[in-house]
Amino acid sequence: MIFEISILAAAALTIVWLCLDRIHKQKRFHQEIQQVNELHHEALEADRKRHELLLDGLSDALFLVDQSGVVCYANIAARQMFAERNVVGQSPQAVFPDARFIEAIHQCEKTHQPMVQRLVLPQQLSPLGAKENRGVNAWLLDVAPLPPEAYPEAKLRVLLRDLTAEFQSEQVRKDFVANASHELRTPLAIIQGYLENLLEVGGLRDHQQAARFLSIMSKHTDRVSRIVEDMLVISRLESGEAAALSIEPFEFHSCVQDVLERLEHLIVSQQATVDFSKVQRGLMISGDRFYWTQVLFNLIENALKQNPRPGLKVVVTGMQQDKGIYLSVADDGIGIPSSHLPFVFKRFYRVDQNHTNSAIKGTGLGLSIVKRAVEAHGGNISVSSIPGRETKFSIELPTPQESMVATAGIAS
Ligand code: ADP
């Protein structure tokens, strides 16, 4: 009897043990599955982070639109673009300010084909919102459908590239060509008119008149060649400005002397004085002497040209300062009205637009050459004017110039 009980107990214990073992194994199995799931989830998360890092590396703004037509992802560039608004979770209508964005997205949804277009927008419709301060702005809009395996939640991507800088320089180039053609057309028409007169039957018989026509033609030919020369200088400076320069140290004082020699005739005939005692002796500039001669020539010639009255005083300054080199050309002439000051460095800009005296009419390119040449040397130029008292063009050149100051021969 005891033996039978023992066997039954042993059997019961074995059953209990087997049950416990089974439960234990099932628990372990569940734990293992959970671990695998977690590992899989972590791998997916890591994968997603890697992709997002990659997309954040793009300088273009990128948005993903999900199946319900809502923005479900925006990379860093896109988030920065819309800094003041939260774009994720919004509909494209709420995000993009211009109807053409939405049309492109709808077209892409309908046709499943990529849509690429260039948008030129007024300032108030810029995707930058209130941050936009560049006026008319241009964008490349590139919308394309996404295959489901690329990003499961998203059905299409919207890429936005800022083309405003390219657009504006294209506009400047177009304006330049239009203005240049306009400027060249006037003297060429005058030359053509006088030529036709001379070529008429008997046109050369009146020698005195013919000589007068020829002298007018010669003056206008000079003007055409000056405009062309100035345009060439500008285009050379703009074709990768630094590469256009031949940088070597030169003494600024001797450069001023060269320019004054070239302008001596004008200075004497106008009874003007040019004081350059404030140009530090031994001041060296590391730069392209050709362009610096042109900078000084244009600034001093402008002062003389705009003030043909006798007794004009022009002061040229050049000195080493703590932050770099400071240069200036000032005169006590008629000056520039404050409303014109912001525009004088623009190409073809003249304060007196209706100047009829062609003897003093310039090309309107002088100051834009000056500005570009100064900037090509890493400097900047500004202008201030109190008409009748002082009109001053000031140039600052950066610190690396410091090393160029000759220690010898520094005079007052
Ligand atoms: P321009 O070839 O007509 O001289 P610039 O670009 O050199 O063209 O100068 C632009 C305009 O700025 C000039 O037409 C002139 O009206 C004005 N300007 C430049 N320098 C002076 C100055 N020192 N005094 C008065 N007006 C000046």
CATH number of the CATH domain containing 397: 3.30.565.10
- The residue to mutate among 304, 344, 354, 392, having the most atoms of ligand 1 within 8 angstroms of its beta carbon, is 344
Same domain, 311 and 177: no
Identify the segments of the chain with pLDDT beneath 50.
Answer: 353-360, 401-412
Among protein residues, the one with the nearest Cα to ligand 1's atom 24 is 335
pLDDT at position 356, please?
41
Contacts of 118 (CB under 8 A, 6+ apart): 138, 139, 140, 141, 163
- The residue to mutate among 367, 370, 386, 389, having the most atoms of ligand 1 within 8 angstroms of its beta carbon, is 367
How close is the Cα of 274 to the center of ligand 1, in Å?
18
pLDDT at position 409, please?
33
Number of H helices, E strands in the chain: 10, 12
Same domain, 404 and 260: yes
Q: Name residues contacting ligand 1 (CB within 6 A).
A: 298, 302-303, 306, 331, 333-336, 344, 349-352, 362-368, 391
CA angle 149, 155, 156 (to 5 degrees): 110
pLDDT at position 361, please?
62
In a domain, 135, yes or no: yes
pLDDT at position 232, please?
87
- Cβ atoms 227, 184 nearer than 8 A: yes
How far is it, in rounded angstroms, from Cα 135 to Cα 292? Answer: 33
How close is the Cα of 136 to the center of ligand 1, in Å?
28
Q: What is the pLDDT of residues 259-274, one digit of tens each?
A: 999 999 999 999 999 9
**At 13, is the secondary structure helix, strand, or coil?**
helix
pLDDT at position 353, please?
47
Same domain, 237 and 330: no
Same domain, 235 and 256: no
How close is the Cα of 345 to the center of ligand 1, in Å?
9
How close is the Cα of 367 to the center of ligand 1, in Å?
7
Q: How many residues does the chain have?
A: 412
Report CA 57 to chain centroid distance, whole Å.
Answer: 22
- Looking at the CA of residue 298, tell me the nearest atom of ligand 1: 7
In a domain, 98, yes or no: yes
Tell me the whole-structure pTM to 2 decimals.
0.64
Last residue of a domain, one of 162, 179, 205: 162
Side-by-side strand order, sheet with 115-121: 71-74, 61-66, 154-162, 137-145, 115-121
pLDDT at position 217, please?
94
Total number of domains constituting the chain: 3
pLDDT at position 402, please?
45
Same domain, 314 and 335: yes
pLDDT at position 400, please?
60
In a domain, 386, yes or no: yes
Among protein residues, the one with the nearest Cα to ligand 1's atom 8 is 364
- Cβ atoms 100, 139 nearer than 8 A: no
In a domain, 191, yes or no: yes
Among protein residues, the one with the nearest Cα to ligand 1's atom 25 is 335
- Looking at the CA of residue 367, tell me the nearest atom of ligand 1: 6
pLDDT at position 241, please?
52
